[in-house]
């Protein structure tokens, strides 16, 4: 059997223009996993009101963070695929690495077609979302299954569900934070670490989505790894959309409250994003920073996502090819160590 690895991230528009962003948002916001409303109510509202207004505003935001040749998310994900290919070769693992976007290009279906053309008969699927959510991980699996429906000779599929407590993932996050502290100084009594995760409607939690609990687990395990006391860090949620209640506490009000209470410096990490994108580079590094400083804060630092971190690439390979027994034993040992009194 020829093995192929498929890394999947959320996606980006083809260009930072209203037309391209509208096309991307139409695909993204039409997914019933993303917006859980009756189609007959949501789709007319989406096309008549939301897309015309949101596309232009979002295009201006994308223009602020767009790379030299492409969207940062796509560039980082492609680079991760290339580095993972080299890591697997160094381990003498015979597998070809591909990447795709759930929305936009390269599309999952087209990439799976390319994998089949390359002779792949076993697909190792890794949605690049550490914490499981129906709107991200499950939606990715939906797209793969939609492709399988039209396959007569289907490949073998293995999928990683989540990795919110994987030791390699946590170690890579901790390394990013420590490197940041080496550059900007260790945190003092006037410093707080904010762990900001992408938000979801509170309804998703009520319906049984484990995302909130997995975010909490990641945050607390990472804090233990960094030897932080409970008052030194906060877990919050960003990217709220619409009027409904979302997972709380919200990131920007948390930052404003900290600034008003006299917190001098904030270091902010987004553990749920394995690659930098609009939500980290514009929403956090620019807009959230401005909110903190305007509210009276003195110093704001955004800690970059995992991107091309060598420890993260090693973790990716372990996630995919470490045996289930070894992975379970290693995770259990690491969690016992992290959670020890």
Helices (H), 71-207: 72-90, 108-117, 139-149, 167-184, 202-206
1-162: which CATH topology?
A: Rossmann fold (3.40.50)
At 214 the pLDDT is 98
Summarize pLDDT for 75-111 with one digit per residue, the tens.
Answer: 999 999 999 999 999 999 999 999 999 999 999 999 9
Please tell me the least confidently modeled range out of 28-32, 201-205, 239-243. Answer: 239-243
pLDDT exceeds cutoff 60 at 205: yes
At 323 the pLDDT is 56
Q: Which of 113, 57, 17, 111 is nearest to 287 (CA)?
A: 57
pLDDT exceeds cutoff 50 at 1: yes
Every domain of the chain with CATH number 3.40.50.1400 lies at: 1-162, 167-303
Summarize pLDDT for 237-287 with one digit per residue, the tens.
Answer: 999 988 889 999 999 999 999 999 999 999 999 999 999 999 999 999 999
pLDDT exceeds cutoff 80 at 128: yes
At 341 the pLDDT is 44
CA pair distance 135, 11, nearest whole angstrom: 13
What mean pLDDT is predicted for residues 3-19? 98
At 82 the pLDDT is 98
At 59 the pLDDT is 98
**Residue predicted with more confidence, 195 or 242:** 195
Q: Does domain 167-303 have CATH number 3.40.50.1400?
A: yes
At 242 the pLDDT is 82
Summary mean pLDDT of the chain: 95
End-to-end CA distance of the chain: 46
Q: DSSP E strands: which ranges in the chain? A: 3-11, 95-103, 122-127, 156-159, 191-198, 233-238, 265-269, 299-303
pTM of the model: 0.93
At 258 the pLDDT is 98
Q: Evaluate whether 41 touches 47 at the Cβ level (below 8 Å).
A: no
Summarize pLDDT for 303-338 with one digit per residue, the tens.
Answer: 999 999 999 999 999 999 985 556 555 555 655 655
CA pair distance 308, 175, nearest whole angstrom: 13
Please tell me the least confidently modeled range out of 1-5, 37-41, 199-203, 329-333. Answer: 329-333
């Amino acid at each position: 059997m020829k093995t192929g690895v498929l890394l999947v991230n959320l996606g980006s528009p083809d260009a930072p223009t209203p037309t391209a962003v509208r096309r991307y948002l139409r695909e993204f916001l039409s997914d019933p996993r993303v917006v859980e409303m009756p189609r007959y109510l949501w789709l007319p509202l989406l096309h008549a009101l939301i897309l015309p207004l949101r596309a232009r505003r979002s295009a201006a935001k994308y223009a602020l963070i767009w790379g030299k040749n492409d969207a940062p998310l796509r560039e980082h994900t492609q680079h991760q695929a290339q580095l993972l290919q080299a890591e697997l070769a160094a381990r003498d693992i015979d597998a070809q690495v591909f990447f795709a976007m759930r929305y936009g290009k390269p599309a999952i279906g087209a990439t799976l077609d390319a994998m089949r053309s390359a002779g792949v008969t076993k697909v190792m699927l890794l949605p690049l979302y550490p914490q499981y959510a129906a709107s991200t991980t499950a939606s990715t699996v939906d797209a793969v299954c939609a492709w399988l429906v039209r396959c007569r000779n289907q490949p073998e599929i293995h999928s990683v569900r989540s990795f919110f407590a994987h030791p390699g993932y946590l170690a890579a996050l901790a390394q990013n934070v420590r490197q940041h502290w080496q550059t900007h100084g260790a945190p003092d009594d006037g410093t707080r670490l904010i762990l900001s995760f992408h938000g979801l409607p509170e309804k998703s939690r009520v319906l049984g989505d484990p995302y909130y609990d997995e975010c909490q687990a990641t945050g607390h395990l990472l804090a233990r790894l960094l030897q932080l006391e409970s008052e030194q860090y906060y877990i919050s949620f960003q990217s709220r959309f619409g009027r409904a209640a979302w997972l709380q506490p919200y990131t920007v009000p948390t930052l404003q409250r900290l600034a008003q209470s006299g917190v001098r410096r904030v270091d902010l990490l987004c553990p749920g994003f394995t690659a930098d994108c609009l939500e980290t580079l514009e929403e956090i590094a620019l807009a959230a920073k401005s909110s903190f400083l305007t509210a009276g804060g003195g110093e704001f630092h955004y800690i970059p996502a995992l991107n091309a971190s060598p420890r993260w690439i090693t973790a990716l390979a372990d996630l995919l090819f470490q045996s289930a027994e070894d992975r379970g034993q290693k995770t259990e040992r690491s969690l016992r160590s992290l959670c020890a009194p």
